[in-house]
Amino acid sequence: MKKIIIIASLILSFVSCKNDLLDTYPYDKAATESVWISESMTDQAIVGIYETLRKNSIAGKIDELEAYSVSGNNVWFWGWITYVANQADAYNGMFYNFWMHHYEMISRANDAIANLHRSPISEAKYNRLLCESKFLRAYAYYRLNMVFGGVPLYLEPPVTLEDFNKARETTEAVWQAVVKDLSDCIDSPDLPGRYEAGNSLYGRITKGAAYALRGKVYLWTKEWAKAESDFRKVGELGYALFQGDFGDLFTEENERCPEMIFSLQAIRTVGLGQNVSRYYGSHIAHGWCIADITPNSDFVNSYEWADGRPFNWDDVFPGYNSMTPAERVVFFLRDGLTEAEIPAGADMDKYIEGANEERCLKAFTGRDPRLNASIITPYSTFDGAVGGVAATYTLRWPFRNYGAPVYDIESNTRTSWYYLYRKFVGVGPDPYINRDNSPIDIPLIRYADVLLGLAEALAEQDKVAEGLVYINQVRQRAGVAELQNSDGSKPTYVGGKEALKDRIRKEFRWEFCGETLSYFEDLRTNTYKDAKYFPDAGLKTINGAWGPSASVRFTWGDRLMKWAIPPGEIDKNPALTQNPGWEN
């Protein structure tokens, strides 16, 4: 699939789709028919649907959506500020791009579904490609429905102006359409359950992916028994957790392990890699990074100790929680501090000459291993290469120099000290990669997602003990203590259904930090407000590792649970209606 995708760009001028679904010009019939006259052109047309996964709003640049999640902040992207501050209007570009990119995928899929019968291919291949097209259409509608809550359903290529001007369907009707497409995939005898890593078709849609996505839809529709059944099927088809170190999962070496169910395929070629790696990490990474997205320090504090105890700064630095942010800086200062480097307000009576770094490092040692596998924490190291010269760097404060002999990790500014994402910034077999074209696949559904969904489906059916089995599979792989419901004196105790559901939410955020999926999960479970904002509805905007900056604490708005329908689409299609709160 990685090699096949190279030719995707060749067919984009032939595929009968427009950048804007609601373009009022009919499809070019001649161009459409020319795509389906040969098997090779048909193959290219189907790869063209997969190619839309590379769009920024789908999988090509997941880092921006990660900023909206519980784990992330965005340092430079001001559109993020206006949105989470509840100050955005309906014209915010993220709404339009998300709408446009997903409908482009739908348009390409509809064209294939309507015309595949013209192609001179075998019946078995026809059935397989039809399933792939239906899955990708279902995936696009799944994502649109999560954020907009009911969108127009186009299940065949529009021809007349009236065909384009459809009203929004109900949320329930969209879910039904998604389930119908996925059920067709599952029922087809010609769609493989799973491809092994060496198969030339690896990366294409499988029955396992269809079961996994349909199970996730059933979580949205609260059909718990159906979700349970689908998630169990995924494991029966041979998908399983990767059993190496958690951080090694997000490398080119392991991107085809049995945990990966559905991924954006990336290769080291201009326009065919992924650039998520560019916007995580730090300037000192191999191939240079920008670090636009930074982990929220409140989220970092949520990672527990490996034995299941909640993390508390006072346990590491007595009195920490009662100190001001300015005073707390002392615990994060580097050894050998000069007078000029002493920050204003720091309580230097607590500085330990020659051992301050060691003390700070203890706060991040012995925690859930996914913390340091996903995030670059204070005084941890990172193998980078400024100017192509390999070196080991350390995240120290204050920053001095990323060159020899200091080798400090640099954030985007040298005046602020952020946590940084480590996930997807691995060096891989060839460390000198261009991070605009990183070859590391981006997982969109992996087996850990399935196991946590199964645990939730069981919890909702009051099968708490059984649900613990599946969340514990994820925790065991991570290297943290398993949860239990027998000893209430231990921090790993889970007392019942609601306690298990709360644990699953936390587990999902820790497991999928940097992968943007937890944002959609918090929308689904209606936990976004409580997780992302303070109890007084002020946003958790946090700069330094030691506490909040002096930035404005923005106000929550209920309208953030449903995105604005792009006004330009409403102008073109009067049948569309706007979501509440976005009318003006």
Percent of the chain having pLDDT more than 70? Answer: 89
Cβ–Cβ < 8 Å for 518, 512 = yes
Cβ–Cβ < 8 Å for 329, 346 = yes
pLDDT digits (tens, 9 = 90+) for 242-259: 999 999 999 888 999 999
DSSP for 114-163 reads: HHGGGS---HHHHHHHHHHHHHHHHHHHHHHHHHHSS-----S---SHHH
Residue 348 has pLDDT above 50, yes or no: yes
Residue-level pLDDT at 15: 35
Cβ–Cβ < 8 Å for 166, 575 = yes
pLDDT digits (tens, 9 = 90+) for 409-452: 987 777 778 899 998 886 544 554 566 778 889 999 999 999 99
The one-letter amino acid code at 282 reads: S
Residue-level pLDDT at 74: 67
pTM for the predicted model, two decimal places: 0.93
Residue 293 has pLDDT above 60, yes or no: yes
Is the previous residue joined to 120 through a cis bond, with omega within 30 degrees of 0?
Answer: no
Residue-level pLDDT at 437: 78
Residue-level pLDDT at 291: 77
For the chain, the average pLDDT equals 88
Q: Which residue has the higher pLDDT, 551 or 350?
A: 350
* Region 283-304 average pLDDT: 85
Q: How many residues does the chain have?
A: 584
Residue-level pLDDT at 160: 83
* Region 535-552 average pLDDT: 58
User: CB-based contacts of 101: which residues, under 8 Å, 6+ apart?
Assistant: 52, 55, 56, 57, 58
* Region 272-293 average pLDDT: 80
Residue-level pLDDT at 20: 37
pLDDT digits (tens, 9 = 90+) for 21-54: 333 222 333 356 678 999 999 999 999 999 999 9
| Structural domains of the chain sorted by starting position, each given as residue range(s) with its CATH number in brackets | 4-237 (1.25.40.390), 279-442 (no CATH)
Residue 118 has pLDDT above 60, yes or no: yes
185, containing H or E segment: helix 171-187
* Dist CA 212 CA 409 (whole Å): 39
The one-letter amino acid code at 46 reads: I
Cβ–Cβ < 8 Å for 447, 206 = no
Residue-level pLDDT at 434: 67
* Dist CA 171 CA 144 (whole Å): 10
* Dist CA 291 CA 287 (whole Å): 13
* Region 462-470 average pLDDT: 98
Alpha-helical (H) ranges within 367-463 are 369-374, 447-460
Structure tokens at 143: 């994502």
Residue-level pLDDT at 23: 34
Residue-level pLDDT at 13: 31
535: phi then psi, degrees, rounded to nearest 5 = -55, -30
Q: Which residue has the higher pLDDT, 298 or 503?
A: 503
Strands 72-74 and 293-295, by their bridges, are antiparallel
442, containing H or E segment: strand 442-446
* Residue 277 burial (CB count, 10 A): 30
Is the previous residue joined to 580 through a cis bond, with omega within 30 degrees of 0?
Answer: no
* Dist CA 56 CA 46 (whole Å): 20
Residue-level pLDDT at 62: 77
Residue-level pLDDT at 22: 33
What spatial distance separates the first Cα and last Cα of the chain, rounded to whole Å?
45
Residue-level pLDDT at 18: 31
101: closest CA among 55, 146, 145, 59?
Answer: 55
Residue 152 has pLDDT above 80, yes or no: yes
Residue-level pLDDT at 68: 86
Residue 385 has pLDDT above 60, yes or no: yes
Strands 391-394 and 381-384, by their bridges, are antiparallel
pLDDT digits (tens, 9 = 90+) for 66-110: 888 888 876 666 667 788 888 889 999 889 999 999 999 999 999
* Region 166-173 average pLDDT: 97
490: closest CA among 309, 303, 301?
Answer: 309
Cβ–Cβ < 8 Å for 411, 223 = no
Residue-level pLDDT at 11: 34
CA angle 544, 550, 555 (to 5 degrees): 110
pLDDT digits (tens, 9 = 90+) for 186-238: 999 999 999 999 999 999 999 999 999 999 999 999 999 999 999 999 999 99
* Region 114-134 average pLDDT: 97
Residue 261 has pLDDT above 60, yes or no: yes
Q: Which residue has the higher pLDDT, 506 or 547?
A: 506
* Dist CA 274 CA 395 (whole Å): 26
Structure tokens at 246: 């958690």
Structure tokens at 140: 């696009």
